[in-house]
Amino acid sequence: MDLALDGVDCAACMDDIERTMAAVAGVVSARLNLTTYRLRLIWEADKTDASALINALAKGGYRAYPFEQSRVEQEETRRTQWLLKCLAVAGFASMNIMLLSVSVWSGNATDITPETRDFFHWLSALIALPAAAYAGQPFFRSALASMRAGKLNMDFPISLGILLALTMSVVETALHGQEAYFDSAVMLLLFLLAGRYLDQAMRKRTRAAAGNLAALKGEMAQRVGADGALVAVPVGVLKAGDQIFVRPGDRIPADGVILSGSSEIDTSLVTGETLRARVGSGAQVYAGSMNFDGALSVQVTAAGEGTMLDEVARLVEKAGEARSRYMRLADRAARVYAPIVHVTAASTLVFWLLMGAGAHHAIIIAISVLIITCPCALALAVPAVQVVAAGHLFRAGIFLNNADALERLAEIDTIVFDKTGTLTLPDPNVVNASALEPDLLHRAARLALSSRHPLALAVSRLAVDVAPFDQVEEVTGAGVRALVDGVDLRLGNAEFCQAQIHQPSSPDVSLIYLRFGARQAAIEIRQSLRPDAVATVAGLRQRGFDLHILSGDRPEAVAPLARQLGIAQADGGMTPAQKIAAIEALRAQGRKVLMVGDGINDAPALAAAYASLSPITAADLAQAQADAVFLSDRLAPVAHALDLARQARALMRQNLWIAVIYNAFAVPLAIAGYVTPLIAAAAMSGSSIIVTLNALRMRGVAREALPERAANAASPFSLSAREHRA
């Protein structure tokens, strides 16, 4: 059974949910995917039932309901909008409270009257209390849920610090105190909500893009009835043994074997094969492949959950569960930090009571300890660096999909590349143009403008500022022809052009022939390496990375490219499952693997890898599984992302140490009673400012990690035609 969960905020929640389920009698397996919030449960029906499982989750503070993609998307949209409203309320309130606070601060230094100060404080309270009650709901609800479950999460000390700061402010205002802390409490909410909203937006984008996989199957299929008539049926009702009819231009809706007909099909997104394949009777075809120029009668061998596309989806889900178990630096620190904060404050209260201090004085000191240890610096330590680093990556044409991507990218020691569309450019190019007669090449390019065949498209890119020939005829499966200056001009296969067979210069080269009267030419086409692939791969090798190629393309096409790049470990003809197996084998050796790929067949490997990158031209599903997407014809963004990630991780760790050192000095002073709530609030804000300023050092680091010329080359505002089209 698959359940969708509400109330999941961090990796610690995942561990808690799985432990809760494991404690229920009869549960065999419980795995939560932190990206999709899907909990997959396997249990023994004779020992428990679904209601008991849902009740156990409810006791732990998590609302569960059957996993339905549409409902999950609706709930996700609702939650994102809710967080945005909370963020807007906190932002509006903090700006207005700060205006009042500045007046009080300047007045305290000059001649403000107590009546005026009290009036400003009550105005601040009038804004802060309802704003915090609304904007703080994401933290308050999470903290309450954790308390009901008998545990304390990171949101508990945050909520406690905010509530105590507000309570102390109201008390001080009622007692005509000189200081109040409404501004600190609401400003903290603003920062924390901004980080949570950005994280939620990233997760939503990932899940939305992943849903595009279903579009490749097509919604309807043409099934052949018993009387031979075609009946339009939903793809979901197809079963093995059915006979379907696939028209030219349609996607094949199910895996099957061709009974009759021939055509060219494009399987590049599904299998990674570079070129269209000519298929006929007896050939195996896969759901999601595009049928081009011929009608096919296909006997279904696997439909619904048995197709290759659904196998890819299952592999993606399974791999995503494993990677979502990664716990961020801040989460790891919070698991230790939160209980220490509570114990310290409680111990301070008891200590001063035992020392004979009055209850009011002891409570004031305990509250000062809680305020000064409020984990705002800890909460900002990692997000502050992420925001600055993400901005620099964006300017370099690299877009992060996951908030924790930088941390995982920083730990990479092994890089696995796909070949087609990753090491090579997505579109094939003519490689022997300089060896051809210019006038023949010019005519070939103009004629190719009238064809959609991938080899013809490669030739057509050589046509600059010219129009197609008039009255061009395309012969299905053969080529195109036109009468030019009274002479027959043909572009297509050797038989169609009546051309002499040409021996290709390498196994990964495809040929298209041209005949113009008695003259003929063989045009060699292959996918070209990205312009800087050789230099980038050499640089990565020098940095100590172990490099591999895992491609779904033919081994004979992979081998020469691997030799050119100097990558010794290269495998072709890999299925999605084989790619995952190879990555898991590397993981078993203790490797942290970065997968760089672009096809649907790469999506499971992208999800299984420790971290992953995709080019912007990748399939939607591949982009959804990648931690980051780069916008460039070049491969350099891979190296840039790794360099910057390592620098960002160093700053994250520095920020965490700043938070620790701050508490090491500030907490003893607060426990000793030398810190008032005002000083505690100032120190808390000061630690946040220091952490933020340290994060801004990423600007200088990024300029070193991302050279200006590389950033300009990858600028998102200078798209090539290919990228624009994608």
Report domain extents, the chain.
Answer: 2-67, 219-252+254-302, 398-424+530-646, 426-526
Q: Which residues pair with 222 in a beta bridge?
A: 232, 245
| Residue 418 a catalytic site member | yes
d(CA 99, CA 186): 13
Give me the CATH topology for the region 398-424+530-646.
Answer: Rossmann fold (3.40.50)
The CATH number assigned to the domain with range 426-526 reads 3.40.1110.10
Higher pLDDT, 12 or 199: 199
Burial class (CB in 10 A: 0-12, 13-18, 19+), 286: buried
Give pLDDT, residue 177.
75
Residue 382, C-beta contacts closer than 8 angstroms, at least 6 positions apart: 328, 329, 330, 407, 652, 655, 656
Instruction: For 139-156, write each residue's pLDDT tens digit.
Output: 888 888 777 766 666 677
Tokens of 390: 């993400």
What residue type is assigned to position 614 of the chain?
S
CB atoms within 10 A of CB 391: 13
Higher pLDDT, 330 or 200: 200
Give pLDDT, residue 416.
94
d(CA 415, CA 638): 10
DSSP characters for 246-286? E-TTPBP-SEEEEEE--EEEE-HHHH--SS-EEE-TT-EE-
> Shortest CA distance to 329 belongs to which of 391, 385, 373, 369?
385
Tokens of 566: 């100097």
Domain 2-67 of CATH type 3.30.70.100? yes
d(CA 223, CA 523): 41
- Give the C-alpha distances (Å, rounded to integers) separating 484 from 381, 469, 481: 69, 8, 9
d(CA 235, CA 220): 5
Tokens of 171: 């008390």
Instruction: For 23-76, write each residue's pLDDT tens digit.
Output: 777 777 676 665 556 676 777 777 777 777 777 777 766 777 666 555 666 667
**pLDDT greater than 80 at residue 520:** yes
Summarize the chain as % helix, strand, coil (round to 5).
55, 20, 30
**pLDDT greater than 70 at residue 425:** yes
Residue 538, C-beta contacts closer than 8 angstroms, at least 6 positions apart: 566
What does the DSSP 8-state code read for residue 41? E
| DSSP 3-state of 529 | strand
CB atoms within 10 A of CB 517: 12
d(CA 273, CA 453): 15
Read off the pLDDT of each residue in 232-259 and give the average, rounded to a whole number: 82
> Shortest CA distance to 373 belongs to which of 147, 687, 690?
687
Rg of the chain on CA atoms, in Å: 31
Burial class (CB in 10 A: 0-12, 13-18, 19+), 241: exposed
Highest mean pLDDT (candidates 12-21, 38-47, 79-88, 420-429): 79-88
CA 92 vs. chain centroid, Å, equals 31
**pLDDT greater than 50 at residue 212:** no
What does the DSSP 8-state code read for residue 235? G
**pLDDT greater than 90 at residue 133:** yes
Give pLDDT, residue 360.
65
Contact 161, 680 (CB under 8 A): no
d(CA 221, CA 477): 24
Read off the pLDDT of each residue in 355-374 and give the average, rounded to a whole number: 74
Q: Is the dihedral of CA 627, 10, 692, 108 positive or negative?
A: positive
Q: Beta 611-615 vs 628-630: how paired, if at all?
A: parallel
Give residue 257's pLDDT band: very low, low, confident or very high (50, 70, 90): very high
Give residue 648's pLDDT band: very low, low, confident or very high (50, 70, 90): confident
Read off the pLDDT of each residue in 9-29 and give the average, rounded to a whole number: 68
Contact 522, 502 (CB under 8 A): yes
d(CA 477, CA 665): 78
Residue given tokens 């000390």 in the structure block: 157
Helical pair 329-354 and 155-174, crossing angle rounded to 10 deg = 40
Burial per residue of 584-608, b for 16 or more beta-carbon CB atoms within 10 angstroms, e otherwise? bebbeeebbbbbbbbbbbbbbbbbb
Burial class (CB in 10 A: 0-12, 13-18, 19+), 336: exposed
Read off the pLDDT of each residue in 11-15 and give the average, rounded to a whole number: 58
> Shortest CA distance to 215 belongs to which of 173, 153, 163, 269?
269
Give pLDDT, residue 122.
93
E-strand ranges in 574-673 read: 593-596, 611-615, 628-630
- Give the C-alpha distances (Å, rounded to integers) separating 554 from 273, 274, 292, 331, 602: 7, 8, 22, 44, 15
d(CA 420, CA 598): 8
Give residue 557's pLDDT band: very low, low, confident or very high (50, 70, 90): confident
Read off the pLDDT of each residue in 421-447 and give the average, rounded to a whole number: 87
User: Which option is the CATH number for 219-252+254-302: 3.40.50.11060, 3.10.310.50, 2.70.150.10, 1.10.3720.10?
Assistant: 2.70.150.10
d(CA 143, CA 134): 15
Task: Spot the catalytic one: 9, 418, 620, 627.
Answer: 418
Read off the pLDDT of each residue in 712-717 and give the average, rounded to a whole number: 36
Higher pLDDT, 310 or 362: 362
Give pLDDT, residue 44.
73
d(CA 601, CA 619): 9
Give pLDDT, residue 68.
58
Helical pair 376-395 and 329-354, crossing angle rounded to 10 deg = 160
- Give the C-alpha distances (Å, rounded to integers) separating 301 from 258, 286, 304: 10, 10, 11
| DSSP 3-state of 290 | strand
- In this structure, of 34-43, 117-126, 187-196, 664-673, the range with the lowest mean pLDDT score is 34-43
Q: By percentage, how much of the chain surpasses pLDDT 90?
A: 12
What residue type is assigned to position 502 of the chain?
H
d(CA 39, CA 22): 13
Higher pLDDT, 326 or 649: 649
d(CA 485, CA 494): 23
